[in-house]
Amino acid sequence: MSQTLSRQATDQRFEARTLESIHALAVSKLPPEVVDYLEGGSGDEWTLRQNRSAFTRWAFEPRVMSGRDAPDLRTQFLGVDLSMPVLTAPFGSETLLHPDGHRAVARANAGAGIAGIVPEASAFSYAEVAQAAPTAAGFAQLHPMGREENFLRLVQSIRDAGYRGVVLTCDCSTVGWRERDMNNRFEMDTSALHGNYPVEASGEMNEAFGQLFTHDSAVWGWDKIRDLLGSSIPWIAKGILSGHDAEAAIEAGAAGLLVSNHGGRQLHEVIASLDALPEVVNAASGSVPIAVDSGFRRGSDVVKAIALGADVVVIGRLAAYGLAAGGEQGVSAVLQLLREEILTILQLLGRGGVGEVDRSALRRADA
């Protein structure tokens, strides 16, 4: 009964009634070249496809007649309380989708009781997004590149804005080979990127993001991150796809790991994030919490990732579709529908909460 009422309430707030219908509405509102920028991947998009097919390699194994109460989705990630095991991703250039950008995402997150990762390449500063919804100011994303003084300036602005940690995007030393954008001759409007770079620092922005389109800049290493950040603020290594890199990041001081192939947008023909997740979880051995992104489109996807050892799932394109479809209201609808599907899956699995979801909830579907 409660699920029916909450679904009806969602329908009253927003006309789209499923996640797929929100996706369709978003696509209908955007120019074709922006749709390609949002949905595209690198190379021939093999990794993009693998991110989705990875979920079909696992099937659920329920426990019927469990005698459990309604599932409890509450959890924590690095001290941040979450009403469900979900964070929103730091997708940049978000004003291409809606003029309120990550301010709208933050307000929706606050309403849903979760937090987000705010991007460096945003139209709004870290402070502006945090001010829009202080309770949702979980983490802020940074690219480990460029001049050290600029990097440290941004770290200080993240601390001043009240974020709980920094997410370092470690898999973006250059932009992936994105053929949809190449065919469209897509060029980014820098006004969608400058939020964390005031006018007097525009040269810093051009220098920092200019490196993403060249191959002659130095790639930072783990030792440099250890020296620059130390214990000044907890940081999460984003872009981890192997046990080797998981161990290296933890050795360098990472407080958490984000298993990610950048939504299939960076290295072509790389392992799907869900397929990499068990190896990373094993390498971490419980020493740090694990997040995962790339390819998540349903509540059932979230539950499978939790069963394979993730602590939280980071949603990028899902949140972006909600933003494009209806701003804050659209993102709120995405989060509500996601919550309801996760609740439904857990109840049918016979689990009383996310803490009861482990590998026993799955079996290989391709065995």
**217 labelled as ligand-binding?**
no
**41 labelled as ligand-binding?**
no
Distance CA 3, CA 341 (A): 10
Question: What ranges make up the beta strands (E) of 27-164?
Answer: 58-60, 75-77, 80-82, 86-88, 115-118, 139-142
Which one of the listed residues 98, 143, 262, 268 is annotated catalytic? 262
**295 labelled as ligand-binding?**
yes
**316 labelled as ligand-binding?**
yes
**159 labelled as ligand-binding?**
no
Separation in Å, CA 81 to CA 68, 115, 236: 23, 8, 17
SS3 223: helix
**160 labelled as ligand-binding?**
no
Distance CA 165, CA 155 (A): 9
Rg (CA), the chain: 20
Which of 310, 170, 319, 298 is CA-nearest to residue 245? 170
**262 labelled as ligand-binding?**
yes
Residue 268 known to be catalytic: no
Distance CA 330, CA 174 (A): 32
User: Quick count: other Cβ atoms within 10 Å of Cβ 210?
Assistant: 12
Residue type, 17: R
Distance CA 53, CA 51 (A): 6
**63 labelled as ligand-binding?**
no
> What's the first-to-final CA gap in the chain, in angstroms?
38
φ/ψ of 340, rounded to 5, equals: -65, -40
SS3 160: helix
**239 labelled as ligand-binding?**
no
**169 labelled as ligand-binding?**
yes
What is the DSSP code (8-state) at residue 219?
P
**90 labelled as ligand-binding?**
yes
Residues 6+ apart with CB under 8 A from 4: none
SS3 262: helix
Separation in Å, CA 87 to CA 15, 90, 315, 352: 24, 10, 6, 21
Helix 317-349 / helix 19-29 crossing angle, nearest 10 deg: 170
**153 labelled as ligand-binding?**
no
**265 labelled as ligand-binding?**
yes
> Max Cα separation, the chain?
64
Residues flagged as binding site for glyoxylate: 37, 178, 260, 262, 265
Residues annotated as catalytic (active site), given as ranges: 262
Residues flagged as binding site for FMN: 90-92, 141, 169, 238, 293-297, 316-317
